[in-house]
Structure 1
Amino acid sequence: MILQALTQYYETLVQAGVLAGPGWGPVKASYALSIAADGTLEQVTSIQTEQLRGKKTVLAPQVLTLPAPVKRTVGIAANFLCDNSGYILGADNKGNPQRSLACFAACKALHTSVLEGVDSPSAQALLAFFRTWIPEYTLEHPALAEYREDILSGANLLFRYNGSYVHEDPEIRRAWERHYRADTDSPRGICLVTGEEGPVESVHPAIKNVSGAQSSGAALVSFNAPAFCSYGKEQNLNAPTGKYAAFAYTAALNYLLADREHVYRLGDATVVCWARGGGDAYQAFFGGALLGAPTPYSAADLRGMTAQLCQGIPVDFQEDKLDPNMDFYILGLSPNAARLSVRFFLHNTFRGFLEHIQSHYRRLEIVRPSYDKFETLPIWKLLDEPVNQNARDKSPAPDLAGEVLRAVLNDTRYPATLLNGVALRIRAEREVTRGRAAILKAYYTKLAESTGHEHPDIPEEVLQVSLNPDATNVSYLLGRLFSVLEAVQAAANPGINATIRDKYFSGASATPAAVFPVLVNLAQKHLKKLNAANRGLSIAYEKQMTELLSKLGTEYPAHLNLPQQGSFQLGYYFQTQARYQKKEEK
């Protein structure tokens, strides 16, 4: 399904003129070798472009549409018209001159095979270059002097003749396309993507720009050990993919990964998405709606457009009209040595995904502190909540990002690992942030939706957007009471460095019977002290304590289980936010 979807997307991009046809692809090139009719190297010109990286402007290779490069393993394999100095000149700084000579010989043989008999001055000049070039003379050639060090370090080189790029010559382009289609060396078979018979690609082109993977590229389809092979087949012949389909899916995926504005990171996963009909407006909208990516629209505008799309109404976005019924795909990849692992692959209509995102945000909705700048919590923020921010590695667990994204976009239950991670962080840090409270609320709300009944230990009356003063859940009331007791202590001791939360929060939420009698007695002393300084505030807090204690009764629970602790934590969060909001209103 992944390869079929990417192949279809490639065909859409070719029809739109965004990508070239089979046999061509984007290649980075740094220098142009200008040659004469007799093959003499006359001049070397840098074709690098200035790019802003961070605050610095640097020279970077120019990306041009050139003959598609081969995927190299340990063997020698030349590229047509553009390659590094080891292949083009027969010399480099890798310390193995014999291999460089072998690379040059392979490059010479390829160009001779493709260009022999081509009626073009550019083709004849290029053939003359390979006939007359002496690799041993590379270090002494005056035309190479200015850029020699960079050229020998692996920069890609291409050719110019009579002021024009050789790869732009129509006759040379036709010759390359004939050669690419012929491919008499590849075995034949039925392509598992297209269902057509033809040459089967044994080694697929490399996928580049996946975070953490090799810079030279990694394989999405790969068989690297006999244990993975069947019926005596080798390499990718075990999953026969036609030469066209192998080129098409890798070209489409590399195009998506090269578009840095619409590539997203979630944990160790690199995420790309695309609409079957093409156009990057769908990607931009999806990134803004779920992943918190910047857009020229406000959060309110995005919510309004999302609501329209969920009703089946097309909307205008970035000068494009978004079709709610457009097929939309989301692919998450993570590095695995020289290969890529598929973390997740999701397919739905654009409207279907947005409906699930809308439901997710509804479950997450919770009162937010005034200092919190996020109107809605993007998914990367949720993934940060179970992470120890003081640890050296602040990345979420490898599988968590994929599990959470799948749950959101498929509208299924959130992973238990997310809940357990949040519970562990609250216990360790004794802090209930907006994100953690929202995760608790969303997890148990979705659990109730999927089972058809509320959880007895964390009922609907607890899972509200803000404080529910009428809730009678004991764990919730204990959380509220703890917040009031903390406020009493802070009011009686202005500027105090540590409150009861730092010492007692974990114990109070797990074993209330052992902790709350101590805290209530302590609060009586704090009230007495506060009464002398601010009688009105003392009376107000005493009234809150009395009200909550009367609802709780005479006995505290001996233990609270995990869902009950969630109710406690939500009660604490809501009571604390209600107090802060009251102060801000004053």
Structure 2
Amino acid sequence: MILQALTEYYRMLADSGKISPPGWSEVKVSFALCIGADGTLEQVVSVQTEQTKGRKTVLAPRPMMLPAPVKRSSGVAANFLCDNSSYLLGVDNKGKPQRTLECFQACKKLHEELLEGVDSPAAQAVLAFFRTWQPEQAASHPALSVCWEELMAGGNLVFRFDGAFVHQNMPVRQAWDDHYQTEEDGPQMVCLVTGNRGAVESVHPSIKNVQGAQSSGAALVSFNAPAFCSYGKEQNYNAPTSKYAAFAYTTALNHLLSDREHVYRMGDTTVVCWAKCGGDVYQNLMGWALFGAEPSYTLTDLQGALNNLCNGMAVDLDETRLDPDMEFYILGLSPNAARLSVRFFLRNSFGAFLRNAQAHQQRLEITKPTYDKFDTLPMWKLLDETVNQNSRDKSPAPNMAGEVLRSVLTNTHYPATLLNGVALRIRAEHRVTRGRAAILKAYYLKNIHPDVPKEVLTVSLNPDSTNVPYNLGRLFSILEAVQSSANPGINTTIKDKYFNSASATPAIVFPILLNLAQKHLKKLDAGLRTYYDKQITALLSKLGEVYPPRLNLPQQGSFQLGYYHQTQSRFEKKEEK
């Protein structure tokens, strides 16, 4: 299903001219070898361009549309018209001169096979270069001495003849297209993607730009051990994919991953999304609604479009007609050595995904502090609430990111790992932040539990709730306020010492806290003492005479929500005054 969706996306992009045709792909190039008609290397020219990375402007390789490179593992395999110095010049600094010479000979053989009968001065110049070039004299060649260190670093090189790149020469391009279309070196099998019979690829092209994977690329489809194979088939013949389909799905996926504006990171998972019809507007709206991406349009336009699409109505945004019934795909990939793991692959209508995302945001809605600048909580912000921000590695648990996103987009139960992560951070830091309180509220609204009734899962304080754990949390917040009022500027409050034990074993802790509060109340003026006395008395009347000896994890969630609601209510009243 993943490969079919990506292949269809490639066809759509190819028909609109937005992506490379079969046999061609975008390659990053650093230098051009300028050659004469007799094959003489006249000059080496840098083709790098200035690019902004962070606050710096650096020189980076220039993307060019070139013949699709082969996938290398440990063997010798040459590329056409573009490769590193080992293949095009026969020199490198890897300390294996015999293998480097084999690379050059393989590259020479490939170019002689493809360009021998091509009637073009550019093609003949390349052939003359390979016939006359002597790798053993490269180190002393004057054209290479200027940029020798950069060449040894491994950047890609291309040929330039008579002021133009050789790969842009039409007869040369036609020679490559003919070679690519007629190359039938695999067994004849039925393609699992297209359903057509023909030669299948043994090794698929690499997927690049997945966070944590090898920079040279990783495989999405790969069989590398006998345990994964069957019926005597080797490598990717166990999942037969035609040459066209292998090129199409890898090119489409690399195209998606190269678009930084629409690639999202969640833990170790790299997420891309696309509509069946293509177009950036679908991606822009989903990125804003779910991943917290910077909006490309005004907030009013986005909210209006979101509401209409969730109600099943088509809308016009940025001169594009958005159809709520358009098929939409979301793919999550994680690194696994030289291969990729599919964390999730979700397919649904665009409107259904938006409805699920909006329902998730409604469950998260909770009163927020004035310093909090987030109108809604994006996915990455939620995951951050489960991580120790003082640790060196601030990545959430590897599986949790995919599980949470899948639950949101399919509108199913949230994973227990999300609740456990939040509970651990609250116990470790004694802090109930807006994000953590929102997660508790959303989790128990979706994962219904009898110990967490709906009366505590409100946006703001519910003073009418009779839930004992919820009111214990409220009482703890008031007792903390009493201590802070009696000791202005105090660094350590009862929250730092008693929060965990109060939420777990209230029968042991609260008598101590109430006794301590009486001493603090004596330090306050009459008006403030009466104000707090009334609040404490009102809550104690709801709690009864006996405190529960122990609270389970869901009841502790109610306690934490009560504490958060009461604390935010206190700050809101100060602002009103």
Band of TM-score, shorter chain = over 0.9
What SS does the aligned partner of 1:64 have? strand
Establish whether residue 214 from structure 1 lines up as the match of residue 214 from structure 2: yes
Give 1:390 deviation, angstroms. Answer: 2.3
CA distance in 2, matches of 1:440, 1:148: 59
Structure 2 partner of 1:550: 541
1:513 aligns to 2:507 (yes or no): yes
SS of equivalent residue, structure 2 residue 294: coil
The 3-state SS of whatever aligns with 1:494 is coil
Q: Distance in 2 between matches of 1:109 and 1:61?
A: 27
Task: Name 2:170's counterpart in structure 1.
Answer: 170
- Corresponding position of 1:202: 202
Aligned length: 577
In the alignment, does 2:303 pair up with 1:312? no
CA distance in structure 1 between the partners assigned to 2:28 and 2:223 by the alignment: 28
Q: CA offset at residue 81 of structure 1?
A: 0.6
* Equivalent residue for 2:497, pick from 491, 494, 503: 503
- Please list the CA deviations of residues 390-440 of structure 1 after superposition, one character each: whole Å capped at 9, or x if unmatched: 222221000000000000000000001111111121122111111111111
Q: Partners of 1:554 and 1:297 in 2: how far apart?
A: 57
| Cα distance between partner residues in 2 of 1:350 and 1:57 | 38
Shift of 1:73: 0.7
CA contact (8 A) 2:478 2:566 kept: yes
Query: What amino acid maps onto 1:133 in structure 2?
Result: W
SS in 2 for 1:458: coil
Alignment of 1:71-82 (within 5 A): 71-82=71-82
Unaligned runs of 5+ in 2: none
For 1:288, give the aligned amino acid: W
- CA shift, 1:327, in A, is 1.1
- CA distance in 1: counterparts of 2:259 and 2:82, whole angstroms: 23
How far apart in 2 are the matches of 1:109 and 1:172?
16
Runs of 4+ residues deviating >3 angstroms: 296-301, 316-319
Q: Tell me the residue number matched to 2:257.
A: 257
2:67–2:176 CA contact under 8 A, matched in 1: yes
> 1 CA distance for matches of 2:315 and 2:130?
57
TM-score w.r.t. structure 2 length?
Answer: 0.98
The residue correspondences of 1:289-368 to structure 2 (distance < 5 A) are 289-299=289-299, 301-368=301-368
> What is the deviation of 1:301?
4.2
Following superposition, the deviation at residue 316 of structure 1 comes to 3.4
Report the secondary structure of 2:398's partner residue.
coil
Q: Distance in 2 between matches of 1:488 and 1:298?
A: 45
Check if 1:228 corresponds to 2:219. no
Q: Secondary structure at the match of 2:523?
A: helix
User: With structure 1 as the length reference, what TM-score do the two structures score?
Assistant: 0.97
Q: Is 1:387 equivalent to 2:381 in the alignment? A: no
The question of 1:569 aligning with 2:560 is answered yes
Corresponding residue of 1:452: none
2:383 partner letter: L
| CA deviation profile, 1:465-491 (whole Å, cap 9, x unmatched) | 000111111111111111111111111
Q: Secondary structure at the match of 1:461?
A: helix
Task: Determine the structure 1 residue equivalent to 2:576.
Answer: 585
Which deviates more from structure 2 when the two are superposed, residues 328-337 or residues 125-134? Answer: 125-134
Alignment-mate amino acid for residue 559 of structure 1? R
Match of 1:147 in 2: 147
Contact 2:284/2:296, CA 8 A, preserved across alignment? no
Alignment partner of 1:126 is 2:126: yes
Corresponding residue of 1:451:
none
Spell out the pairing of 1:10-29 with structure 2 (5 A cutoff).
10-29=10-29
Deviations 1:503-532 (A, max 9, x none): 1111111111111111111111111111xx
In 1, the alpha carbon distance for the partners of 2:375 and 2:13 equals 36
**SS where residue 126 of structure 2 aligns?**
helix
Letter in 2 for 1:156: N
State how far apart, in whole Å, the 2-side matches of 1:226 and 1:50 are.
47
> Is 1:494–2:488 an aligned residue pair?
yes
- The alignment status of 1:476 with 2:467, answered yes or no, reads no
Distance (Å, rounded) in 1 between the aligned partners of 2:416 and 2:575:
36
Matched residue, 2:424: 424
Structure 2: how far apart are the matches of 1:296 and 1:284?
7
Cα shift at 1:300: 5.1
Q: Deviations over 1:423-464 (max 9, x none)?
A: 12112211111111111110110123xxxxxx3211111111
- The aligned residue for residue 189 of structure 1 is 189
Q: In 2, Cα distance between the equivalents of 1:386 and 1:418?
A: 7
Structure 1 CA distance for aligned equivalents of residues 28 and 198 of structure 2: 30
Gaps of 5+ in 1: 449-454
The answer to whether the 8 A contact 1:299-1:375 is kept is no
2:61 is equivalent to residue 61 of structure 1 = yes
Report sequence identity in percent: 69
RMSD: 1.2
Q: How far off its partner does 1:212 sit?
A: 0.8
SS in 2 for 1:177: helix
Give 3-state SS (helix, strand or coil) of 2:139's partner. Answer: helix
2:276 maps to a residue whose letter is R
Aligned mates of 2:52, 2:435 — CA distance in 1: 35
State the 1:303 CA deviation: 2.8
Superposition deviation, residue 134 in structure 1: 1.3
Residue 483 of structure 2 aligns to which amino acid in structure 1?
Answer: Q
Could you tell me how far apart the structure 2 residues matched to 1:499 and 1:81 are?
A: 70
Alignment of 1:453-464 (within 5 A): 455-464=449-458
Cα distance in structure 1, aligned partners of 2:254 and 2:318: 24
